[in-house]
């Protein structure tokens, strides 16, 4: 399998959002999607944020996204078009993970059934997280799932709730010599938070969130996988970015 990390720009958040109840300076964090070329088809895990929406609704997060950092442009840089993506998986439906969904109208959309319900009828405190509704366009082909699910051989979604009610993390295991890749998504944002077991400041269930951090650690150990962090700039700068890719 080939795996591309699609750069969709960056936003700024409070340190207490980066690590729950831990003070510090505001920090710029990356946003990206994961594109997987599999024998069963082209699969995309998350689509980053939409610049226009974020500037309008969350301007305090100071979004930065160039034309080259949109999902169509990142797919093109990797040698594909939006029509090539057969399956889109959303780890969850927060604005910074669904902003490019609207460009993938020929894809089926895999999402946790509880997440789908919650995003459409969320608690008031979840407004900013679920503020971008562009993913719920007319004709969208949702495939609601629950539990741990094997998407395709070597691709497994693991339930990791807490940040949201229906959050998924993705394990990518190939037949080559490269180590498996475990995309924790928003279970935990940074290596420091991972080591200390501290979840992000935004969450719906902190107890479940701590359990999901433990689960990610157990999965990483069990499968001898490298954990990829969703919102850590220092880690992001060490990853390969499209058009470069990983062979798994």
**Is 7 part of the annotated catalytic residue set?**
no
Rounded-to-integer distance, Cα 80 and Cα 191, Å: 32
- What 8-state DSSP symbol labels residue 179? P
DSSP three-state, residue 172: strand
Sheet holding 2-13, edge to edge: 141-145, 108-112, 85-89, 41-45, 27-38, 2-13, 246-247
Residues 6+ apart with CB under 8 A from 64: 9, 10, 11, 28
What is the DSSP pairing of strand 141-145 with strand 168-172? Answer: unpaired
Collapsing DSSP states into helix, strand and coil, what is residue 77?
helix
Beta bridge partners of 8: none
Among 7, 46, 50, 96, the active-site one is 96
In whole angstroms, what is the distance from residue 162 CA to residue 125 CA?
Answer: 15
Provide φ and ψ at 103, rounded to 5°: -85, -5
Structure tokens at 248: 């798994």
* Residue 17, φ and ψ in degrees, nearest 5: -85, -35
Which residues on adjacent β-strands are paired with residue 226?
A: 181
Give the DSSP H or E segment for 38: strand 27-38
Catalytically active residues, by annotation: 96
């Amino acid at each position: 399998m080939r795996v591309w990390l699609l750069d969709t720009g960056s936003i700024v958040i409070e340190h207490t959002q980066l690590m729950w109840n831990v003070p510090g300076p505001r920090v710029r964090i990356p946003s990206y999607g994961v594109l997987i070329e599999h024998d069963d088809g082209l699969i995309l895990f998350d689509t980053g944020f939409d610049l226009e929406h974020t500037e309008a609704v969350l301007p305090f997060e100071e979004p930065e996204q160039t034309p080259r950092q949109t999902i169509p442009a990142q797919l093109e840089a990797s040698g594909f078009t939006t029509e090539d993506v057969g399956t889109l998986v959303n780890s969850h439906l927060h604005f910074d993970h669904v902003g490019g969904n609207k460009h993938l109208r020929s894809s089926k959309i895999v999402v946790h059934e509880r997440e789908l319900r919650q995003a459409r009828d969320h608690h008031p405190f979840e407004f900013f997280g679920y503020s971008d509704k562009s993913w719920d366009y007319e004709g969208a082909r949702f495939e609601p799932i629950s539990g741990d699910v094997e998407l395709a051989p070597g691709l497994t979604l693991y339930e990791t709730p807490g940040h949201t009610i229906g959050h998924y993390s993705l394990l990518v295991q190939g037949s080559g010599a490269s180590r498996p890749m475990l995309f924790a998504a928003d279970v935990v944002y940074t290596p420091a938070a991972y080591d200390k077991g501290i979840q992000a400041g935004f969450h719906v269930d902190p107890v479940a969130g701590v359990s999901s951090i433990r689960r990610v650690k157990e999965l990483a150990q069990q499968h001898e996988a490298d954990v990829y962090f969703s919102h850590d700039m220092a880690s992001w700068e060490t990853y390969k970015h499209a058009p470069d890719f990983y062979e798994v």
